[in-house]
Amino acid sequence: MLELRLVQGSLLKKVLDAIKELVKDANFDCSTTGFSLQAMDSSHVALVSLLLRAEGFEHYRCDRNLSMGMNLDNMAKMLKCSGNDDIITIKADDGSDSVTFMFESPTQDKISDFEMKLMDIDSEHLGIPEAEYHAIIRMPSAEFAKICRDLASIGDTVVISVSKEGVKFSTRGDIGAANVVLRQNTTVDKPEEATIIEMNEPVSLTFALRYMNSFTKATPLSNIVTISLSSELPVVVEYKIAEMGYIRFYLAPKIEE
């Protein structure tokens, strides 16, 4: 038996909006730790890792580890039927081939339940080793989204270079080229407006902008994004989910051949 009650139900809608462009079908894994998901895009170029910790739910009951295969477009359709202030409860019985989403209005005067069929999904689970990163950039998520959007109108790939000058995002396309340089800036009114660049070693990597732009669908989840770079490793683009966990996107670099 599984019963997860999330008071801030809108969080779940934002999570779905963040990943459904990248991944179509995925297994949600439920354990005593929390509600999690790991999935790759169909080309196996990007990977998303989601964790919503058990402590973040008002009520969390998971009698045994359960993996529930869901079509994310269908799940998003169902969650769209909830009100923005609704409490969402996810329920499933052991061995059941369906999951129920229950929506309660804040004043408890409207209660609905939507039952969704589960599916069998063959998915590979990858081990993600702890790594030392050459550079870690912490910046406003809206700024990162704007840079990715702007550069995608010029080119298909972005070169992210970190040096002691700061972090440079560069692209090149048929109509021209663009460079955006950000310097560390901690003299801001609010901590979430700061740009902090931690560099152990200079690093420069090339990535497909299409994927980066897809990751920025997670922007409504957090004011801050953290980008971790190491040569010879996928970049990690992380959005923290307040008091609950995170969404981490991993993207394999492009390499010269």
Partner 1 sequence: VNAQRQITSFFSKT
Strand order in the sheet with 157-163: 176-182, 166-173, 157-163, 203-208
Among 45, 92, 151, 221, indicate the residue that binds partner 1 (CB under 8 A): 45
Q: Which residue has the tokens 């931690």?
A: 198
Tell me how far, at minimum, the Cβ of 110 lies from partner 1, in Å.
42
Is residue 176 within the footprint of partner 1 (CB under 8 A)? no
Q: Which of 6, 46, 66, 87 binds partner 1 (CB under 8 A)?
A: 46
If one asks whether residue 133 binds partner 1 (CB under 8 A), the answer comes out as no
Q: Is 161 a residue that touches partner 1 (CB under 8 A)? A: no
| CA distance to 5, 145, 154, 156, 228, per residue, from 174 (Å) | 51, 22, 8, 10, 29
**Does 61 sit near partner 1 (CB under 8 A)?**
no
| Closest distance of CB 48 from partner 1, Å | 10
Decide: is 253 part of the binding site for partner 1 (CB under 8 A). Answer: yes
**At closest approach, how far in Å is the CB of 44 from partner 1?**
5
Among positions 8, 157, 195, 219, the unique one binding partner 1 when judged by CB under 8 A: 157
d(CA 170, CA 177): 8
Residue 130 in contact with partner 1, rule: CB under 8 A? no
Nearest approach in angstroms of CB 2 to partner 1 is 23
Quick one: which of 7, 40, 76, 194 contacts partner 1 (CB under 8 A)? Answer: 40
Name 30's bridge partners.
35, 66
What is the DSSP annotation of 200-241? SS-EEEEEEHHHHHHHGGGGGG-SEEEEEE-TTS-EEEEEEE
233 touches partner 1 (CB under 8 A): yes
**Contact of 53 with 33, CB cutoff 8 Å:** yes
Single-letter residue type at 257: E
State in angstroms the smallest separation of the CB of 208 from partner 1.
6
Beta pairing partners, 248: 49, 238
Cα 156 from Cα 120, distance rounded (Å): 35
Residues 6+ apart with CB under 8 A from 12: 6, 79, 88
Binders of partner 1 among residues 197 to 216 (CB under 8 A) are 206, 208
- Point out which span in 21-29, 40-48, 178-186, 218-226 binds partner 1 (CB under 8 A): 40-48
172 binds partner 1 (CB under 8 A): no
Tokens for 169? 């995002």
Stretch that binds partner 1, among 24-32, 56-64, 122-130, 163-171 (CB under 8 A): 122-130
Residues forming the site for partner 1 (CB under 8 A): 40, 43-47, 124-129, 157, 206, 208, 233-234, 250-257
